[in-house]
Chain A
């Protein structure tokens, strides 16, 4: 993703994270894995950027965090969507879809 505009990157990353958490409570590692697996490794997100996004979304009130036990009994920080997060996801999703459609139209052979 290097070389892409930061706006697109950040907005996209936020949407991806929120969309991932729609499946349920997850820790940061699980989010990272899920995005990786789901996109067949096409979208490679730097972990540092992912955690910054998680904490940013937490302050914005889109997600909340709580400590819990992981599947292998380790202390992990779990994130879940808030009502505001779901709202943000809806808006982000539709914006992104429109954007992608527009890009696709440009790229289609005339």
Chain B
């Protein structure tokens, strides 16, 4: 009965064995004694006793083993029982302190949730290997011209053939031509004619990536060469599902693309999204006719991906490419300036611009976790001083140290696990929201999943924090004199010590909050700058309709001109259209073709390069429709076409660079055609490349003087631009029902897309900044609230001695502000060091931007004042009689 009530020390294995031996010896001894009384000699008695017992040795071993099992089972039962008891007790205790429990749980959930979400993004985007076999061997290669500074230029298909033929350390080299909304082909005979998004691939493309099709087969080498049986296509998985409902019978079927029959060879696997998500089909590049893109050495259109041989370093790949391009540049006049190549790991290129932003977020979110842990520690310390008395009482009543420690451990564990569970839920939701918000800005968004490693890490960290600081009261109570704790009247022996520790923690919290808020402030200011950038055109009320002029209109120049102008005329005649024009290269989407030229009066010394500029193909009325001011001369008009000599319009950047201080209009440029080309007008600078990049010198050419089939109709509308989309489409189809339309969008949305990544970053950093303020504020409030509680007797005395409410309030607020002040100073110093890692994501704002730092200081002081004022008010309401009686 005793064992079930009190805790006996557990028996060791040796003890168990000895007990069994003793028990059996006792039995034998008793039996021998009895037999001797019956007249047997001791020897006879002993032999008889052993005989009667049976197999004694077997029984002994059996009992010893059996009893050890019994002991272990008993321990387990008892442990589980105590654990259940402790957990129940912990839950009751936590429920008894709802304010503490809720704050702690919320803190944990926010810290774990935010970290899990952000680190899942990091893992999916930056760390997970690409979905190709041996992805670390994959690289991107560009042609490079050190002379012109073009280090990542597209590659000529003719050069690519030579690279492939001369390669030694590369398993294969593959080229492809894909531009969003640019590379495509019309499909007819499958319902309405429609434009498919296509990647035109060279023979090395599929072997380089090393991916097998989900269905059917990939093209053979001979099917990808010009003149070979090259009218074959491979479908992307999503296109196959959408267009053919995933029917396997699609393999071997014939599709009509660009008016010609193509055989479907196979379907790519579901996770194959290279080079982009939106690709419908893969077509041999060889099928592109010369009149579309001539296969000439100087025409550089391809992106190139290559696979290094196993074990070959990227440096050896670079060395080989440098050797090959060096040889080619000596051999061919067209390659004279293209003396080298740039080779970069594929993963780096895909992740590209997203990396710096993601890393900033990682830093910020790690700080949030730090803050959450500090806050939790502070909360637990405050609770510790309350608990100490309770524990001292229990200890005095005979509870062992180990038992108390286990009780507190259980409590912390229960708290941490509950918080962790909430954090996981929060993390899952925020990750989904993040992916939804950032799907267009994040490369590899489809690969982002809740990462168990991250979850485990955040959880482990929180549990560790919970355990360490949860144990403080137990360690204190058992380490210091219990009597002191009891005599101390409930304030706890460690009251002052705990206070000091919490003060340090709260200073750290405020410092971390400052860093977070500074980061958010810098990013916000940078984003506002970005929004205020003068784009050089008015993006509002502009509808863009993107299409590629069908092959049916490309027969003769007259056909092409008629279709081009007919469309413009019909669209302009639509009610609600203010103005309309067209351009091959739309701002933020395409920066134009780079061309070399010589401005009038300039002598290019032998051995140096002619200057280059971006050439943009536009229609008459384009500048008017876009809202770009004509600074000098005139813009294009209908008569500037292939029937008359070439004329160009340049932007102000061009005029200032090449004709500084002089009128550019009337000057000529050599290099565009046989005759010197006159400049007929100068227009304002347009941000063509991106919102961030300042305008570079640009030359505009009338699209009918240098025909391009890519067309973006730019339509300025009176009302909501998208409402005009149907009318514009019908206008185009009234001329030709078979003309496909690639995409329809507003210029405002294109501008929005162009700043979407900084917007996402701003949103998230602001969120973390707000979280920092909240957690820091709670931390400060908690410390001061406890400070008031702890000193209420002193405050009571002061009030009794005639101190007025204002004075008491000032005392508490001063305490709060001095703590916050220390934190702010430390935080500002930290921010000065840390914000330099944000340089890559900031626009137009320095990393030590004074207004931001000043603003943050004021904000933090404001929050600190608020967090101090509430406890201060409570302090000033202290009734001296009540507080003194309470002691």
Residues of A at the B interface (CB closer than 8 Å) are: 27-29, 32-33, 46-49, 51-52, 55-56, 58-59, 64, 66-67, 70, 72, 74-77
Q: Which of A55, A70, A72, A75 contacts B63 (CB 8 A)?
A: A55
Q: Which of B17-25, B249-257, B609-617 contacts A (4 or more CB under 8 A)?
A: B17-25
Q: Which of B26-34, B315-323, B458-466, B635-643 contacts A (4 or more CB under 8 A)?
A: B26-34
Q: How many Å lie between the Cα of A48 and that of B63 in the bound state?
A: 9
B67 at the A interface (CB under 8 A): yes
List A contacts of B73 (CB < 8 A). Answer: 59
Which residues of chain B (58-73) have a CB below 8 Å from chain A? 58-59, 62-63, 66-67, 69-70, 73
State whether A75 touches B67 (Cβ < 8 A): no
What are 29 A-B pairs at a CB distance below 8 A?
Answer: A27-B23, A28-B27, A29-B27, A29-B31, A32-B27, A46-B53, A46-B54, A47-B27, A47-B52, A47-B53, A48-B54, A48-B56, A48-B59, A49-B54, A51-B23, A51-B59, A51-B63, A52-B62, A52-B63, A55-B67, A58-B70, A59-B66, A59-B73, A64-B3, A74-B29, A75-B22, A76-B26, A77-B22, A77-B26
B603 at the A interface (CB under 8 A): no
B661 to chain A, nearest CB (A): 105
For B59, give the chain A residue with the smallest CB separation: A48
List A contacts of B69 (CB < 8 A). Answer: 59
For B34, give the chain A residue with the smallest CB separation: A33
List B contacts of A66 (CB < 8 A). Answer: 2
State whether B53 touches A75 (Cβ < 8 A): no
B590 to chain A, nearest CB (A): 82
List B contacts of A76 (CB < 8 A). Answer: 23, 26
State whether A56 touches B53 (Cβ < 8 A): no
> Given A56-B66, A77-B22: A48 and B55 within 8 A (CB)?
yes
B577 to chain A, nearest CB (A): 92
State whether A77 touches B54 (Cβ < 8 A): no
List A contacts of B27 (CB < 8 A). Answer: 27-29, 32, 47, 51
List B contacts of A29 (CB < 8 A). Answer: 26-27, 30-31
B1 at the A interface (CB under 8 A): yes
State whether B26 touches A27 (Cβ < 8 A): yes
Q: How many Å lie between the Cα of A92 and that of B3 in the bound state?
A: 26
State whether A64 touches B1 (Cβ < 8 A): yes
B793 to chain A, nearest CB (A): 54
List A contacts of B33 (CB < 8 A). Answer: 72
Q: How many Å lie between the Cα of A75 and that of B22 in the bound state?
A: 8
List B contacts of A51 (CB < 8 A). Answer: 23-24, 27, 59, 63
Q: How many Å lie between the Cα of A28 and that of B63 in the bound state?
A: 13
Classify chain B's interface size. 20 to 34
Interface string of B3-46 (1 = CB under 8 A from A): 10000000000000001001110110111011000000000000
Q: How many Å lie between the Cα of A66 and that of B366 in the bound state?
A: 58
Q: How many Å lie between the Cα of A70 and that of B59 in the bound state?
A: 23
Q: How many Å lie between the Cα of A62 and that of B59 in the bound state?
A: 21
List A contacts of B67 (CB < 8 A). Answer: 55
List B contacts of A58 (CB < 8 A). Answer: 70
Q: How many Å lie between the Cα of A28 and that of B24 in the bound state?
A: 9
Q: Which 9 interchain pairs have the tightest Cβ spacing? A: A48-B54, A48-B59, A46-B54, A59-B70, A47-B53, A29-B30, A77-B23, A29-B27, A76-B26
List B contacts of A52 (CB < 8 A). Answer: 59, 62-63, 66
B17 to chain A, nearest CB (A): 13
List A contacts of B55 (CB < 8 A). Answer: 48
List B contacts of A56 (CB < 8 A). Answer: 66
For B50, give the chain A residue with the smallest CB separation: A47
Q: How many Å lie between the Cα of A48 and that of B67 in the bound state?
A: 15
For B53, give the chain A residue with the smallest CB separation: A47
A13 to chain B, nearest CB (A): 13
List A contacts of B30 (CB < 8 A). Answer: 29, 70
List B contacts of A27 (CB < 8 A). Answer: 23, 26-27
State whether B70 touches A55 (Cβ < 8 A): yes
List A contacts of B63 (CB < 8 A). Answer: 51-52, 55
Scoring A29, A56, A74 by chain B CB atoms within 10 A of each residue's CB, the highest score goes to A29
> Given A58-B70, A59-B69: A70 and B26 within 8 A (CB)?
yes
A14 to chain B, nearest CB (A): 15
State whether A74 touches B53 (Cβ < 8 A): no
State whether B26 touches A74 (Cβ < 8 A): yes
Q: How many Å lie between the Cα of A33 and that of B69 in the bound state?
A: 28
Q: Which of B1, B23, B26, B53 contacts A48 (CB 8 A)?
A: B53
State whether A48 touches B66 (Cβ < 8 A): no
Q: How many Å lie between the Cα of A28 and that of B70 in the bound state?
A: 18
- With A48-B55, A52-B63, A76-B26 known, 12 other A-B pairs at CB within 8 A are A29-B26, A47-B52, A47-B53, A48-B53, A48-B54, A48-B59, A51-B24, A51-B63, A52-B62, A64-B3, A67-B19, A77-B22
For B58, give the chain A residue with the smallest CB separation: A48
Q: How many Å lie between the Cα of A4 and that of B26 in the bound state?
A: 30
List B contacts of A47 (CB < 8 A). Answer: 27, 52-54, 59
Q: How many Å lie between the Cα of A27 and that of B27 in the bound state?
A: 9
Interface string of B463-495 (1 = CB under 8 A from A): 000000000000000000000000000000000
Q: How many Å lie between the Cα of A5 and that of B23 in the bound state?
A: 28
B520 to chain A, nearest CB (A): 63
List B contacts of A28 (CB < 8 A). Answer: 23, 26-27
Which residues of chain B (335-373) have a CB below 8 Å from chain A? none
List A contacts of B1 (CB < 8 A). Answer: 64
For B70, give the chain A residue with the smallest CB separation: A59
For B71, give the chain A residue with the smallest CB separation: A59
For B49, give the chain A residue with the smallest CB separation: A47
A102 to chain B, nearest CB (A): 31
List A contacts of B24 (CB < 8 A). Answer: 51
List A contacts of B53 (CB < 8 A). Answer: 46-48
B65 to chain A, nearest CB (A): 10
Interface string of B554-577 (1 = CB under 8 A from A): 000000000000000000000000
For B63, give the chain A residue with the smallest CB separation: A55
Scoring B22, B23, B31, B52 by chain A CB atoms within 10 A of each residue's CB, the highest score goes to B23
Q: How many Å lie between the Cα of A46 and that of B59 in the bound state?
A: 11
B62 to chain A, nearest CB (A): 6
List B contacts of A32 (CB < 8 A). Answer: 27
